[in-house]
Chains A and B, each alone.
Chain A
Amino acid sequence: MKKILSLLTILAMLASCTPTPENVHQSNALPPIYPDYCDVTIPQNIAPLNFLLRADCEAIEVKAGDITINARGNEAVFDIDDWKALLQQSADKSIEVTVSALINGQWTAYKPFTWQVVSDKVDPYLTYRLIEPDYEIWNNVQIQQRCVENFDVNAIGHYEKLENRCMNCHTFANQNPQLSMMYVRGPGGGAILNKNGMLSKLNIPGSVYFGFSPTGRYITFSTQKIIPAFHSDPSKRLEVYDSESNVCVADMQEHRIFTSPLLSDSLKFETFPTFSPDGKYIYYCAADSVSLPRDIKQLQYSLVRIAFDEKTGTIGTQVDTLYHQRSVCHPRVSPDGKFILFTVADYGTFPIWHPEADLQMLNLQTGKIDTLGIVNSAKSDTYHSWSSNSRWFVFASKRDDGLYGKPYFCYIDKQGKAHKPFCLPQAHPLFYDNNLKSFNAPELGKGKVPFDVDDVAKAMKKESVNFK
């Protein structure tokens, strides 16, 4: 008992020894915090924005609303209960945050910043693939689902259970966790379809990028021959292009595949198809074919759409071009049908390594393009997914180091204005510094998927359902 008391006394003394600000020097600069959470807009249901100060400091004090953190070192980690209470009482208000740091024996108070808390919630689950940024060779790939309201993570695809296979392209229908699909590649692999937790393995030949129709009866997918190529200029690194690509539709009820000459034109590359939320259109990207890899810089994809009738399963006869100023990838329509968000790059179809790759948003009612200046960075910003309420989207950004993609969340207010995005918070502020995997293809979902890794492993052993 004596020993326990001594230990508690020592711990109490240590805690009380945490320095607190005195003789504070005021700085006009914003604190160099990482991730950059200065003046960001956050949803009411987000996990604590733990951060660190990029400075060699002995102690830190952070004041955010009623919360005060005094800690040794440079990390600010919030108690999750205090954080929840703070956000609860700050809905549709802003929280002022002040950061002070003890550096070389001198306390400095940085310029305060704000967190604008909005009551529009972001979908609580984020699904992503963790993979080395090179993508060519993988080992220990996982598809994880993270609850963004806290720090809970569970794997839905795990290398240990799936013979270290490549897994990719996990997508939900309308952000609904009860209807989703992911691919497990390699011999005996296939598309694992989740329907209310019942998993089946589908053999949809050549399918790469896909999206569900609103009812879930159809998926539209692209088939492509993907070629990796290398830039001799080290700053450009990897390029990937399709030597051929087409768009098709699969009827998930009748297990048949169909297309249209307009979606599989041999003189064009068609890719990244997605249904509009009302199911009346398939949006996709199309480019005139060029000689590759020689003329890669002339490879320009336009944003186009073609009508689709979900009742009869028929594809329209006319292709409308919506945007052709730069090369377009990954179009995604907001669930309310007002906006279409897409990536633009100087050329090609693989914006992940294009530092100039940015997100743009087309207002489908006014035809106005928003270049999303507040959202984009000097590095690649791409692969986005909408929240079911159309107020939030998540995207993968390489803004921090140019190499490793991280999920960033961006708020679109009722006026359609984008706010400064913020990075997915982590329990340990050092997580991203130590992490050597990219958060690839982040997808938002309204809930936790009703299956786990073992279910996927079992489904992999099933006979495939073949498509005609």
Chain B
Amino acid sequence: MKNLYYKYYPTAAIILSAIIIWCFFQFWYPYHFFFQEQNQIFLWSWDYITTYTDKSGGLARFVGDFLTQFYYYLFAGATILTVCLLIIACLLYKALINFKVSKPVALLLALFVMALAAICHFSTSYRLSGTISIMGWLILFWVVSIIRKKVLKLSALVCCLLPCYLLFGSPAIAKIQMPDFVIEKDFAVDCEYHFGHYDKVIQLVESQDRWTDQMVFFYNLAQAQRGQLPDHLLRFTPTQLGTFYQIGPETPMLIIRNMNELYWALGDMTFTERAAMMTNVFSHNNRNVRMMQRLAECNYVSGDSLAAEKYLRILDKTFVYARWADNVRQNGKTIYQQKMQMVNRHDTISITDNAHLLMMQLLDANPNNTIALDYILCSTLVLKDIASFKRDYDRYCIDTNNPRLKTLYQEALCIWLAGTNAPQQEWEKYIKRGDVFQRFQQYNLQRGNANFKDTYWYYFDKIKAPEI
């Protein structure tokens, strides 16, 4: 029994470590994998594959990028990484044993390298190719270790150093960091939003004790998709709509990517395409699969079939998205029917990506664009710009005879009506909700009372508006 234990405890320790690593990445860190997968693209095309020979470490990058594309699938990310780490640990352990290192020391070293390589993956910028590179060098180390004659060992090492460097490059280690569970949650809401799981986005954000701009941004976007943005705008303060951003050379890639989602939801195809191209610019190898999909679909919606086909052809060469591309070709008209109806065909030129202006253009072209309507009204309310809110409400709700009787808007209108000493008929024209009017009267008797925390009046009086 003791012999058996002595024989198998290293294997058991390595396998146990692998299981722990797999569980950690699968259950606590899965969205990191999806983020990495979404920010690259791998094409199964000879022309593309040959680009890996441009620099040293081509094989490591090729294998890393090839495997990363499968991170798209549930369980694949954690499994691929764990298998790689398992191979690393085994190679190192075996090689050290061959070099006559004692079992406990060899095991400790193998586990240490395995853990170090796993820790590197806490960082989103650390790519799988780094781990493959380590694996490549360990293969060389192991091969050298199995050669018995010293001269041969040395010759093999000398002969293989350059090829190994060309194939695997220098092994890269990421800056050691703790797992970032906040970013993991950011990636989670982004991922679930991407798949249209709006309920899950909402549940994810609402279950948090602390929330980030990214979480609130997607929370609002998910609510807007359900037509409920004004009902939940004040749930998190300061809230984050994304409409106050302007993209420039210093804008982080994640923000540009979020803006892409916002423009797509609003229906502005010019800016959707621009943000997608800019996200590509700052992605690994200047391309990423999510933006490739987005560019295909936004051009499809715009009616630019040549441009859409350009991106669909690229997606045809992926293992994961070829079917998606085919589906767009065959059923695009049905899939994007609603978006196509919203496309702005009125041409105006603006020198700014000011979202308010863009939303006005979209609403002038299509007053039924509810997402744009909610975003434009909510943006002015977040800034406490009641005059602009009233102007936009008149323009897109009253003048079009399409009043949007959301509590938030009714509350904001109360502020405007009270602030301008509006006559009775004005109140009757705008305030259609008796409950709101009654509560407004109550609020006026106890302004700033925390019992009214859920109202726009409280926000208006007590909460600081964002500075833009």
**Which of chain B's residues has its CB closest to A429's CB?**
B47
The CB with the most chain A CB atoms within 10 A, among B270, B273, B280, is that of B270
Q: Which residue from B306, B309, B313, B344 sits with its C-beta under 8 Å from A233?
A: B344
Q: Is B398 an interface residue (CB 8 A)?
A: no
Q: Is B343 an interface residue (CB 8 A)?
A: yes
Q: Is B373 an interface residue (CB 8 A)?
A: no
Contact of B351 with A233 in the complex, beta carbons under 8 Å: no
Q: Report A428-458 residues with CB < 8 Å from chain B CB.
A: 428-431, 433-434, 436-437
The CB with the most chain B CB atoms within 10 A, among A132, A140, A228, A233, is that of A233
Bound Cα distance A434, B314 (Å): 6
Q: Which residue from B269, B317, B350 sits with its C-beta under 8 Å from A434?
A: B317
**Known contacts being A140-B286, A400-B306, A436-B280, is A230 close to B274, with CB within 8 Å?**
yes
Contact of B347 with A132 in the complex, beta carbons under 8 Å: no
**Known contacts being A134-B278, A430-B46, A436-B287, is A237 close to B273, with CB within 8 Å?**
yes
Bound Cα distance A237, B277 (Å): 12
Contact of A232 with B346 in the complex, beta carbons under 8 Å: yes
Contact of B281 with A139 in the complex, beta carbons under 8 Å: yes
Which A residues are CB-close (under 8 A) to B304? 234-235, 402
Contact of B349 with A430 in the complex, beta carbons under 8 Å: no
Q: Is B452 an interface residue (CB 8 A)?
A: no
Q: Is B282 an interface residue (CB 8 A)?
A: yes
Q: Is A136 an interface residue (CB 8 A)?
A: yes
Q: Which residue from B47, B273, B353 sits with its C-beta under 8 Å from A428?
A: B47
Which A residues are CB-close (under 8 A) to B361? 232
**Which of chain B's residues has its CB closest to A228's CB?**
B351
Contact of A134 with B282 in the complex, beta carbons under 8 Å: no
How many chain-B residues does the 8 Å CB contact rule pick out? 45
Q: Which residue from A138, A232, A296 sits with its C-beta under 8 Å from B281?
A: A138
Bound Cα distance A49, B451 (Å): 76
Which B residues are CB-close (under 8 A) to A134? 274, 277-278, 281
Which B residues are CB-close (under 8 A) to A139? 281-282, 286
Q: Is B303 an interface residue (CB 8 A)?
A: yes
Contact of B348 with A232 in the complex, beta carbons under 8 Å: yes
**Which of chain B's residues has its CB closest to A436's CB?**
B287
**Which of chain B's residues has its CB closest to A138's CB?**
B281
Q: Report B277-332 residues with CB < 8 Å from chain A CB.
A: 277-278, 280-282, 286-287, 298, 302-304, 306-307, 309-310, 313-314, 317
Q: Is B400 an interface residue (CB 8 A)?
A: no
Q: Which residue from A138, A227, A234, A293 sits with its C-beta under 8 Å from B269?
A: A234
Q: Is A229 an interface residue (CB 8 A)?
A: yes
A77 to chain B, nearest CB (A): 10
Bound Cα distance A401, B299 (Å): 11
Q: Is B271 an interface residue (CB 8 A)?
A: yes
Contact of A404 with B310 in the complex, beta carbons under 8 Å: yes
Bound Cα distance A437, B310 (Å): 12
Bound Cα distance A228, B274 (Å): 12
Which B residues are CB-close (under 8 A) to A244? none
**Known contacts being A234-B270, A234-B343, is A137 close to B249, with CB within 8 Å?**
yes
Contact of A434 with B349 in the complex, beta carbons under 8 Å: no
Which A residues are CB-close (under 8 A) to B281? 132, 134, 137-139
Which B residues are CB-close (under 8 A) to A2? none
Contact with B along A224-260 (1 / 0, CB 8 A): 0001111111111111000000000000000000000
Q: Is A285 an interface residue (CB 8 A)?
A: no
Contact of B310 with A403 in the complex, beta carbons under 8 Å: yes
How many chain-A residues does the 8 Å CB contact rule pick out? 37
Q: Is A133 an interface residue (CB 8 A)?
A: yes
B293 to chain A, nearest CB (A): 14
Which A residues are CB-close (under 8 A) to B278? 134, 136-137
Contact of A402 with B274 in the complex, beta carbons under 8 Å: no
**Which of chain A's residues has its CB closest to B364's CB?**
A232
Contact of A293 with B350 in the complex, beta carbons under 8 Å: yes
Q: Is B48 an interface residue (CB 8 A)?
A: yes
Contact of A434 with B270 in the complex, beta carbons under 8 Å: no
**Known contacts being A230-B349, A230-B350, is A434 close to B47, with CB within 8 Å?**
yes
**Known contacts being A232-B361, A233-B345, A233-B346, is A436 close to B286, with CB within 8 Å?**
yes
Which A residues are CB-close (under 8 A) to B349? 229-232, 239, 293, 296
The CB with the most chain A CB atoms within 10 A, among B46, B307, B317, is that of B307
Contact of B273 with A232 in the complex, beta carbons under 8 Å: no
Contact with A along B393-420 (1 / 0, CB 8 A): 0000000000000000000000000000
Bound Cα distance A232, B268 (Å): 8
Contact of B310 with A234 in the complex, beta carbons under 8 Å: no
B46 to chain A, nearest CB (A): 6
**Known contacts being A232-B346, A233-B345, is A227 close to B47, with CB within 8 Å?**
no
Contact of B47 with A236 in the complex, beta carbons under 8 Å: no
Bound Cα distance A134, B275 (Å): 10
Contact of B347 with A231 in the complex, beta carbons under 8 Å: yes
Contact with B along A207-239 (1 / 0, CB 8 A): 000000000000000000001111111111111
Contact of A232 with B347 in the complex, beta carbons under 8 Å: yes
Bound Cα distance A132, B50 (Å): 21
Bound Cα distance A136, B304 (Å): 22
Q: Is B43 an interface residue (CB 8 A)?
A: yes
Bound Cα distance A140, B54 (Å): 14
Q: Report B250-288 residues with CB < 8 Å from chain A CB.
A: 268-271, 273-274, 277-278, 280-282, 286-287
Bound Cα distance A238, B303 (Å): 17
Interface residues of A (CB under 8 A from B): 132-134, 136-140, 227-239, 293, 296, 379, 400-404, 428-431, 433-434, 436-437
A-B contact pairs, 15 of them (CB 8 A): A132-B286, A133-B277, A137-B249, A232-B270, A232-B350, A235-B302, A235-B304, A239-B349, A296-B349, A401-B306, A402-B306, A430-B46, A430-B47, A434-B317, A437-B286
| Besides A236-B270, A434-B48, 5 new A-B residue pairs in contact (Cβ under 8 A), listed by A number | A134-B274, A232-B346, A430-B46, A430-B47, A434-B314
Interface residues of B (CB under 8 A from A): 43, 45-48, 50, 247, 249, 268-271, 273-274, 277-278, 280-282, 286-287, 298, 302-304, 306-307, 309-310, 313-314, 317, 343-351, 353, 358, 361, 365
The list of the 7 closest CB pairs from A to B, nearest first, reads A234-B269, A428-B47, A233-B347, A401-B310, A234-B302, A430-B47, A134-B277
